[in-house]
Structure 1
């Protein structure tokens, strides 16, 4: 009987991972919540698994924006044993390729390669950005780890720009408590933090002397440090062995040097999302 339950558990695992990792909506940014561990500790040891879904999200136009935008996002997951493609479990990646290096009962460690599907920021996103350069899409290499027990997930990830687009290094940590009032319904909530290297924070929040001349904003060099702190609340409902529905809200705060950037119009950033996902 234990083996027969694995497909359902794996399906929920993929769907939830897709929901969490999709909320950055195609790009990894300072205000985007890091992905959190799945709600279930068990991961299938072998065999193919597939999931397909669609999410709709309301996100800030760029890190620090006062305006937001709605955007649909495809949710795709394919896995075979320890290898996976698409929405990467336990990592802040919407579309990527990765593998688990270690999978224990409570601890997981893995790596992933990914590429932004949209530019993290464009000058056309807001009049406030006029004269500032776009932030181009780039490739990321991510190392992630998670610790999962029945009522708690702790997830850490470190990501490096490997395509030379000046996005540097970022690291995140999320701690989420889980509550399941009934077997099909799961609530999750908890805090998280993202740290950015000097290069990362300069790209997202800094203004060079040349950019200052073009934009009229004062030059600014934030240095390395905490790029965002956040609180996340989510819910997921398993309709049957194939269908998942979910929703999440994340409220982020841009502290210190990041929040004091002249680029930032609003230090408190809110992201909403809802999704439907089908597991084959």
Structure 2
């Protein structure tokens, strides 16, 4: 995000909208929501704060997101999400677009004019999957919220940004490990408007795929679905389109649409109804 105060241009570690790069979600809720936070929050061109600037940055806002009821669902649901963050120098808490997370606690390990590398602990804000979400899930049990350890890196050169992350469950809730890679191209037709778009992919461990797409013998007896074992591999391909508009130096709005296609063992799962998935949302935030 951009905050203009006199001649200062500073980066605020918050997000103005949702994802669709966000796409995907791991760090947060589903692969589709978290990555979207990055795609909408990341595109701004920023400079380091001046030596007289305060090291504190804050962002308060929220948004609405329309996303699949569960990975592989044909139906969708609406979710309201908060966008609240605070940062002090290299440390951050709350929403962070680089970590692609709504709930995060972390720090940047290295930053320069091109690179941002960091580590964070994140937690799911939205329940990843509940039996009550859809009749197809009856007997499968809920996929629980969990805490994740994440390493992420972003490289920006002129109008191109590339982001990679590795996220792993550290709370023992069978969410496994996922790795993502996304590239965004940025265009500013006017100074206040930033448009971005680009492709991405997600690799998932066997534990992650088993939790979301596998069906054990016990689940099969309860749900009526056939047993199914899912291994590790490419889980998703996606393409995101995002826009962020600075209404005032401190108020931003954003919108994002992400088109995702399940791949690998996720496509053949008896849980999967639809391999193409769309996530979109609108966000507003205030920076101070």
TM-score scaled by length of structure 2: 0.89
Match of 2:244 among 236, 247, 257: 236
1:161–1:246 distance in 2 versus 1, CA, 3 Å: same
Structure-2 residue corresponding to 1:28? 29
Which residues of 2 match residues 55-204 of structure 1 at below 5 A? 55-204=63-212
**Does 2:40 align with 1:39?**
no
CA distance in 2: counterparts of 1:218 and 1:118, whole angstroms? 28
Tell me the distance in 2 between the aligned counterparts of 1:85 and 1:30: 20
Aligned residues of 2:32 and 2:258 also touching (Cα < 8 A): no
Alpha carbons 2:57, 2:86 under 8 Å: kept: yes
**Count of matched residue positions in the alignment of Structure 1 and Structure 2:** 276
Farther-moved stretch of structure 1 (40-49 vs 196-205): 40-49
* RMSD (Å) for aligned C-alpha atoms: 2.1
Tell me if the contact between 1:226 and 1:258 (Cα under 8 Å) persists in the aligned partners.
Answer: no
- Secondary structure (helix, strand or coil) at the match of 1:87 reads strand
User: Which structure has more strand as a fraction of its residues?
Assistant: 2
Q: Alpha-carbon deviations, 1:180-209, whole Å to 9, x = none?
A: 011110100000111100101111111111
Question: Secondary structure of the equivalent of 1:95?
Answer: strand
Stretches of structure 1 that go unaligned for 5 or more consecutive residues are: none
1:91-128 residue CA offsets vs partner (Å, 9 max, x unmatched) = 12111111000001101110011111232001110001
Q: C-alpha distance in 2, partners of 1:200/1:25?
A: 10
Q: Which runs of 5+ in 2 are unaligned?
A: none
Listed as ranges, the matches of 1:204-223 within 5 Å are 204-223=212-231
| Runs of 4+ with >6 A deviation | none
What is the Cα deviation at residue 230 of structure 1? Answer: 0.5
Q: C-alpha separation between the residues in 1 aligned to 2:202 and 2:26?
A: 17
Cα-to-partner distance string for 1:41-86 (whole Å, 9 max, x where unaligned): 4344861111101101111111111111111111111111000111
Q: Secondary structure at the match of 1:263?
A: coil
Q: Aligned partners of 1:57 and 1:26: how far apart in 2?
A: 16
Length-normalised TM-score, structure 1: 0.92
